[in-house]
Amino acid sequence: MSKLIGNAIVGQSGGPTCVINQSLVGVIEEHFNHGCIETLYGARHGSAGILKEDFVDLSALAVKNGNVDMEYLNKLAYTPSAALGSTRDKPDEEYCKKVFEVFQKHNIRYFFYAGGNDSSDTARIIRDMGVKSGYDLKVFHIPKTVDNDLCGIDHCPGFGSAAKFVAQAIMGDNQDSRSLPGIKIDVIMGRHAGFLTAAAALARQNPGDGPHLVYVPERNVSMEQFISDVKAAKAKYGRCLVAVSEGIHDENGTPWAQRMAENVEKDAHGNIQLSGSGALGDFLIGQLKKAMPGERMRADTFGYLQRSFAGIVSEVDATEARECGRLAVKWACTGERASGSVSFKRISSAPYRIEYYCNDLENVAAKTKYLPDEFINEAGNNITDAFIEYALPLVGELPQMGFIAG
Amino acid sequence: MSKLIGNAIVGQSGGPTCVINQSLVGVIEEHFNHGCIETLYGARHGSAGILKEDFVDLSALAVKNGNVDMEYLNKLAYTPSAALGSTRDKPDEEYCKKVFEVFQKHNIRYFFYAGGNDSSDTARIIRDMGVKSGYDLKVFHIPKTVDNDLCGIDHCPGFGSAAKFVAQAIMGDNQDSRSLPGIKIDVIMGRHAGFLTAAAALARQNPGDGPHLVYVPERNVSMEQFISDVKAAKAKYGRCLVAVSEGIHDENGTPWAQRMAENVEKDAHGNIQLSGSGALGDFLIGQLKKAMPGERMRADTFGYLQRSFAGIVSEVDATEARECGRLAVKWACTGERASGSVSFKRISSAPYRIEYYCNDLENVAAKTKYLPDEFINEAGNNITDAFIEYALPLVGELPQMGFIAG
């Protein structure tokens, strides 16, 4: 096979993570090893920047006095969120056609796209257009999402660091709730998959530690059941710390957030906006207050902190995200495949070891992975030890909490 | 002066911090150096635990195989929140009389109380009772609060670590908002004093970095002004990141949270509870949405994470909190004063140096310090460099954010 020579574009898409810049830096540093890439462009705000031809010359940016500026790149790698800018655009065929025209105009022969399942779908559509029109183009998807819901990969780059944040937040909040007891609800990201909420269970270290209840979108829960669970935990522990996915469903499978929004719009004549992120936690507290009057109750919503906090990163996650960026370039420049999604399987948990492989875009595109049954307890209100075993190697070292017994 | 021999009690009160256990450990380790303290008891949940005689024998707990168990103590010191439990009780004379009876019953001759201005007031009342009844009692207050609002002290133990959390959260959120631009509001603790919200300004490192606006309780702001400020910042930066104290006031000096609660109760017929912590952020977003339709807008409320997060601690703060605990015991056991609040002045900011001194309880009790005028800009919507100079040494090392210019 003769070398495909031309320019490359890298883009970042979807909700940011704390290590998506590690993947970006992996792409940047690896492209210097492959002469087939003439210039590596960064697209500002993903596909949106491609349409607007809003590019940064990353080949030039990363070089200082004739050398690759590793100090700059390493600092960039440890910066949370998408340094090139991200986008919420979900390109269809029409949109991708325009992207493809820009590629042809700039002789783009390599396309690296870091994102979730929507982004891998974008990559797939563009790849197919190349094949159809006989335009040689290599397309590689680099996995990223705090939701951990991509198929075919043991876990997603971005998840470990977000899980570490959630674990440390719950760890501290558990101490706070022990010191001033009451009912505490923490709302955690995850509209469809409960992995990140499940990470709250990593916080448990000492007897009686919360979270005492964990609700994920994979299980329905009625308000009656929720209230009854909280009452039982309160009776047992003298307090109750609850971790709740933003995507939890009621007994009919309707998201609680949706039901709540309907009710409130009717009641409040449009004066109160409930799309703000504290709404679900406040709603649940409101329901509990009616059932348990006089109790001290609080809700926190972790919001964007859990995906973009500066200074909390899992080193395992950082290393894997960087390697995914590097492999995308390496496979594109030296491998036999014209497209794929960088993926890995777990070989063992203790010692922790993974093995990288190239997955088909079709196996990732627009598909969602859910929390397996074995990670959720029978009652559907807590997380099992099997999940801890799965997730603990991904977050790296956690702080150790002291304790005054009795 | 002959030695006062007897037992001691240490308690923790008010909202927890990440270093109040450093102070507790400071008290524990120092008491072993003073034979005048026979047994050091820990009161569970502060004054409430004293009334119930709910004590832990800390002299015994901290010893393992005949030696002080420093491994246990160091782990405890780095555990956020109050390990003995805290209380929201605000004891009056009647309450303190009962506390005093318990002290007499258990021959308590030393009382160490870690807390804010209410706790120092409790300490003052009890000290006065001792003097009045001729019962020899040494009473020392150990300062603690994330609000940084105690008088006579350069800054409060607990503030530096909370400020570090806020700075790192805003640092990450600034990257998030740059990557997916829009209007973002972050609500930060501080009902009366704006120090912790001001710490958001420590996040600025690169050109265009947020927070672009900072609102503190020390300045009033009308909704019209707030909206106009946000519009102007959006026009200038293409996005707007706003840090808001939970205690901000409207143009008449009424807290926005209070006005909002009144409105909502009327509108929603009691169906919506707005005491949950996401409410203020959601309310502000609601107001902005009416004025700037179609904009992407989000609000996060940092909630309890900012005071009890596990794994984010300022080493300066940790060291000072520990020393405050040690000095309280040292001064009580060897000094000439029967009471006081551990305090310190700043000698210089570069290099950072403080000097400890013993303040009168009267100078701290039930008093509040506010953000000085020089720390707030003229327009009342941002924080000055003078604050940065004051606060930077207190948070210790901060992560360095990378940046793709252009």
Enter the DSSP assignment of B349: E
What does the pLDDT average to over B370-381? 98
Size of interface A-B (CB pairs under 8 A): 267
| The pLDDT value given to residue A2 | 62
Cβ neighbour number for residue B309 with a 10 Å cutoff: 31
Mapping DSSP onto H, E and C, the string for A51-68 reads HCCCEEEHHHHCEECCEE
B216: domain CATH number?
A: 3.40.50.460
Residue B82's identity, in one-letter code, is A
| Nearest-CA distance B295 → chain A (Å) | 13
Which pairs count as long-range contacts for B39-42, CB under 8 Å and 24+ apart, including other chains? B39/B7, B39/B8, B40/B7, B40/B8, B40/B9, B40/B10, B41/B7, B41/B8, B41/B9, B41/B10, B41/B106, B41/B108, B42/A404, B42/B9, B42/B10, B42/B11, B42/B84
Q: With contacts defined as CB-CB under 8 Å, which chain B residues touch A299?
A: 276-278, 303
Angstrom CA distances, A192 to A15, A198, B97, B148, B325, stand at 14, 13, 56, 41, 48
Q: Is the same domain home to B71 and B202?
A: no
Sign of CA pseudo-dihedral A117, A118, A119, A124 = positive
Tell me the ipTM for this assembly: 0.95
**A216 CB near a chain B CB, below 8 Å?**
no
Query: Does B406 reside within a domain?
Result: no
Q: Is the same domain home to B12 and B41?
A: yes
**A301 CB near a chain B CB, below 8 Å?**
yes
| The pLDDT value given to residue B298 | 92
Pairing assessment for the beta strands B55-57 and B37-43 based on DSSP bridges: antiparallel
Put simply, the chain B residues between 196 and 215 with a CB less than 8 A from any chain A CB are 203
Q: Is the same domain home to A151 and A41?
A: yes
Query: Does A60 reside within a domain?
Result: yes
Structure tokens at A326: 């590097």
Q: Is the same domain home to B227 and B338?
A: no
Enter the DSSP assignment of B322: H
Q: Is the same domain home to A190 and A260?
A: yes
Put simply, the chain B residues between 263 and 282 with a CB less than 8 A from any chain A CB are 263-264, 267-269, 271-279, 281-282
What distance in Å separates the CA atoms of residue B193 and residue B262, rounded to the nearest whole number? 23
Q: CA A21, A365, A359, A157: dihedral to nearest 10 degrees? A: 30
B124: domain CATH number?
A: 3.40.50.450
Going from the first residue of chain A to its last (406 residues), give the mean pLDDT of each consecutive group of 10, the final group possibly shorter.
Answer: 88 96 98 98 97 98 96 98 94 93 97 95 95 96 97 97 98 96 95 96 96 97 97 98 95 87 50 55 90 92 95 98 98 96 96 97 92 98 98 96 88
What distance in Å separates the CA atoms of residue B74 and residue B76, rounded to the nearest whole number? 5
Angstrom CA distances, A173 to A169, B181, B191, B307, stand at 6, 30, 20, 9
| Nearest-CA distance B53 → chain A (Å) | 14
Query: Does A217 reside within a domain?
Result: yes
Residue B160's identity, in one-letter code, is G
What distance in Å separates the CA atoms of residue A2 and residue A108, rounded to the nearest whole number? 17
CA-atom Rg of chain A in angstroms: 23
Nearest Cβ partner for B61 among A178, A398, A404: A404
**B100 CB near a chain A CB, below 8 Å?**
no
| The pLDDT value given to residue B263 | 58
Sign of CA pseudo-dihedral B43, B48, B50, B53 = negative
Put simply, the chain A residues between 321 and 350 with a CB less than 8 A from any chain B CB are none
**A72 CB near a chain B CB, below 8 Å?**
yes
On the question of pLDDT at B266 being above 70, the answer is no
| Nearest-CA distance A340 → chain B (Å) | 26
Chain-centroid distance, C-alpha A91: 20
- Asked if A310 lies within 8 A of B404 by C-beta distance, the reply is no
Q: What is the pLDDT confidence band of residue B267, given thresholds at 50, 70 and 90?
A: very low
Structure tokens at A61: 């940016």
Residue reference for tokens 């007891």: A181
Max CA pair span of chain B: 75
Q: Phi and psi (nearest 5°) for A19?
A: -125, 10
Cβ neighbour number for residue A261 with a 10 Å cutoff: 17
Contacts of A59 (CB under 8 A, 6+ apart): A31, A32, A37, A39, A40
On the question of pLDDT at B381 being above 80, the answer is yes
Q: Is the same domain home to A72 and A177?
A: no
Structure tokens at A184: 């505490």
What distance in Å separates the CA atoms of residue B40 and residue B108, rounded to the nearest whole number? 9
Look at chain A and report how many structural domains it folds into.
2
Structure tokens at A310: 């500066």
| The pLDDT value given to residue B264 | 54
- Asked if B76 lies within 8 A of A402 by C-beta distance, the reply is yes
What does the pLDDT average to over B176-196? 95
Enter the DSSP assignment of B18: S
Q: Is the same domain home to A32 and A10?
A: yes
Q: What is the pLDDT confidence band of residue B272, given thresholds at 50, 70 and 90?
A: very low
| The pLDDT value given to residue B268 | 39
**A380 CB near a chain B CB, below 8 Å?**
no
Nearest Cα residue to A316 out of A305, A308, A324, A326: A324
Query: Does A406 reside within a domain?
Result: no
Give the SS3 label for residue B114.
strand
What does the pLDDT average to over B150-167? 98
Residue reference for tokens 């504290």: A278
Nearest Cβ partner for A406 among B12, B56, B401: B56
**B77 CB near a chain A CB, below 8 Å?**
yes
CB A343 within 8 A of CB A358: yes
Active site positions of B, annotated: 147
Mutate: best of B300, B306, B314, B397, partner A, most A CBs <10 A: B300
Q: Is the same domain home to B10 and B146?
A: yes
- Asked if A81 lies within 8 A of B172 by C-beta distance, the reply is yes
Mutate: best of A23, A73, A272, partner B, most B CBs <10 A: A272
Q: Is the same domain home to B182 and B70?
A: no
Query: Does B403 reside within a domain?
Result: no
| The pLDDT value given to residue A274 | 36
CB B142 within 8 A of CB B113: yes
Q: Is the same domain home to A10 and A43?
A: yes
Query: Does B115 reside within a domain?
Result: yes
Q: Is the same domain home to B91 and B170?
A: no
Residue of A nearest to B48 (CA): A180
| The pLDDT value given to residue B271 | 37
Put simply, the chain B residues between 145 and 184 with a CB less than 8 A from any chain A CB are 168-169, 171-173, 175-176, 178-180, 184
Mutate: best of B79, B166, B284, partner A, most A CBs <10 A: B79
What distance in Å separates the CA atoms of residue A262 and residue A284, rounded to the nearest whole number? 15
Q: With contacts defined as CB-CB under 8 Å, which chain A residues touch B45?
A: 179
Residue of B nearest to A24 (CA): B404
CB B360 within 8 A of CB B340: yes
What distance in Å separates the CA atoms of residue A278 and residue B153, rounded to the nearest whole number? 35
Q: Is the same domain home to B175 and B108?
A: no
Residue of B nearest to A400 (CA): B75
Please report how many Cα atoms fall inside a 13 Å half-sphere around the Cα of residue B277, on the Cβ side.
27
**A237 CB near a chain B CB, below 8 Å?**
no
Query: Does A366 reside within a domain?
Result: no
What pTM was estimated for this model as a whole? 0.96
Give the SS3 label for residue A314.
coil
Active site positions of A, annotated: 147
| The pLDDT value given to residue A266 | 44
CB A149 within 8 A of CB A193: yes
| Nearest-CA distance B284 → chain A (Å) | 9
Q: Which helix (H) or strand (E) holds A185?
A: strand A183-188
CA-atom Rg of chain B in angstroms: 23
What distance in Å separates the CA atoms of residue B11 and residue B24, rounded to the nearest whole number? 8
Contacts of A229 (CB under 8 A, 6+ apart): A213, A221, A379, A381
Length of chain A, please? 406
What distance in Å separates the CA atoms of residue B156 and residue B370, rounded to the nearest whole number? 13
**B370 CB near a chain A CB, below 8 Å?**
no
Enter the DSSP assignment of A360: P
Q: With contacts defined as CB-CB under 8 Å, which chain B residues touch A276?
A: 278, 281-283, 285-286, 298-299
- Asked if A269 lies within 8 A of B274 by C-beta distance, the reply is no
Give the SS3 label for residue B323.
helix
Query: Does B401 reside within a domain?
Result: no
CB B197 within 8 A of CB B281: no
**A86 CB near a chain B CB, below 8 Å?**
yes
On the question of pLDDT at B150 being above 90, the answer is yes
| The pLDDT value given to residue B372 | 97
Q: Can you give the residue range of the structural domain that contains B389?
A: 161-310+373-395
On the question of pLDDT at B397 being above 80, the answer is yes
